[in-house]
């Protein structure tokens, strides 16, 4: 489900769960382990996260697998996704997301975890958890506000649940640049090879500084994100929203 390749000093991790790279628990645990290995390997100076398929980077969490689990364990998928996202953010090495095609919901969360994001010119992104009666969580909304140059574009993503096409994603600052679909991986690899030449300790220090918060605030943000998601997940809105996503229909939320 994750194909690993070493190209000079760049570790490439390709998602490989056809057709849409849905994120099941096995894939998330494998990806987390591969990120930990890249962190520990001195021969890895940069990491590229990519897809094995041109149409989708990832369509998000595996809703069918979630629904098959006991209710008390269904939120575990999102919590594991947060762990993988955090592992990418805290990896003290350059990371580049080669986003070919659509990066939706959890797929976009993975891309957000990387330092740089290249999107194919036919690509799309969204973070439409609100359509499922959920919130992306305070930690991820804070990240969006860090990387975007447009508060209104952030609101379009998280309050309206809009899907942004490539040019809109670039204009909002969510991606660093666009590339033709057939070139997005090669351009991402080229970027990673340049980043691999940076002084490793200095890069790690600057990366930490870009999103630095006092330790107690950082932990509080993660704790609140996990609490908030678990609380929203255990509501009628979330049950209806997730059922609507699985059944590909509009949700029918009850009035409060």
pLDDT tens-digit series, residues 196-243: 999 999 999 999 999 888 888 989 998 999 999 889 999 999 999 999
Interatomic CA distance for residues 115 and 10, integer angstroms: 14
Gap between the terminal Cα atoms of the chain:
42
pLDDT at 236: 94
Strands (E), the chain: 2-7, 10-15, 46-51, 56-58, 95-99, 102-104, 116-120, 124-126, 164-165, 177-179
Q: What six digits make up the tokens of 117?
A: 């994001």
Q: pTM for this structure?
A: 0.95
Per-residue pLDDT, averaged over 6-23, amounts to 97
In this predicted model, what pLDDT tens digit does every residue of 133-161 receive, in sequence order?
999 999 999 999 999 999 999 999 999 99
pLDDT of res. 34: 98
pLDDT value of residue 72: 82
Pairing of strands 164-165, 102-104: unpaired
Confidence of residue 74 (pLDDT cuts 50, 70, 90): confident
- Of all residues in the chain, the percent with pLDDT exceeding 70 is 100
* Calpha distance 133→131 (Å, rounded): 6
In angstroms, the CA 128 to CA 159 distance is 8
- CA 204 to the chain's CA centroid: 20
Predicted local confidence at residue 216, as pLDDT = 84
What domains appear along the chain, each with residue ranges and CATH number?
2-179 (3.90.226.10)
The angle subtended at Cα 64 by Cα 86 and Cα 22, nearest 5°, is 45
CB 149 within 8 A of CB 169: no
Cβ-proximal residues to 117 (8 Å cutoff; 6+ apart), any chain: 96, 97, 99, 111, 174, 175, 176
Per-residue pLDDT band at 256 (split at 50, 70, 90) = low
pLDDT at 5 over 80: yes
Measure the CA–CA gap between 168 and 173, rounded to whole angstroms: 9
Overall average pLDDT of the 93-98 stretch: 98
pLDDT, one tens digit per residue, over 105-125 is: 999 999 999 999 999 999 999
Structure tokens at 18: 């056809």
Please give the mean pLDDT across all residues of the chain.
Answer: 95
- pLDDT score recorded for residue 214: 87
**What whole-number distance in Å separates Cα of residue 75 and Cα of residue 212?**
28
């Amino acid at each position: 489900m994750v194909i690993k390749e070493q190209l000079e000093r760049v570790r490439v991790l390709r998602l490989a769960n056809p057709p849409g790279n849905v994120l099941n628990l096995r894939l998330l645990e494998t990806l987390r382990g591969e990120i930990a290995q890249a962190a520990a390997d001195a021969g890895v100076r940069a990491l590229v996260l990519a897809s094995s398929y041109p149409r989708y980077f990832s369509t998000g969490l595996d809703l069918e697998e979630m629904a098959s689990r006991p209710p008390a364990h269904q939120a575990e998928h999102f919590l594991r996704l947060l762990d993988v996202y955090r592992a990418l953010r805290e990896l003290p090495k350059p990371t580049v997301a080669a986003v070919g095609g659509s990066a939706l919901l959890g797929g976009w969360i993975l891309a957000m975890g990387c330092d740089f994001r290249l999107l194919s010119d036919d690509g799309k992104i969204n973070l439409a958890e609100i359509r499922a009666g959920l919130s992306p969580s305070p930690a991820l909304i804070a990240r969006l506000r860090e990387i975007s140059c447009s508060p209104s574009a952030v609101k379009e993503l998280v309050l309206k649940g809009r899907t942004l096409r490539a040019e809109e994603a670039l204009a909002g600052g969510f991606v660093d640049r666009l590339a033709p679909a057939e070139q997005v991986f090669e351009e991402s690899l080229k970027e990673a090879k340049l980043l691999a030449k940076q002084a490793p300790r200095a890069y790690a220090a600057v990366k930490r500084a870009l999103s630095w918060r006092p330790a107690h605030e950082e932990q509080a943000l993660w704790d609140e994100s996990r609490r908030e998601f678990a609380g929203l997940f255990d509501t009628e809105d979330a049950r209806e929203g997730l059922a609507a996503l699985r059944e590909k229909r509009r949700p029918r939320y009850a009035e409060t």
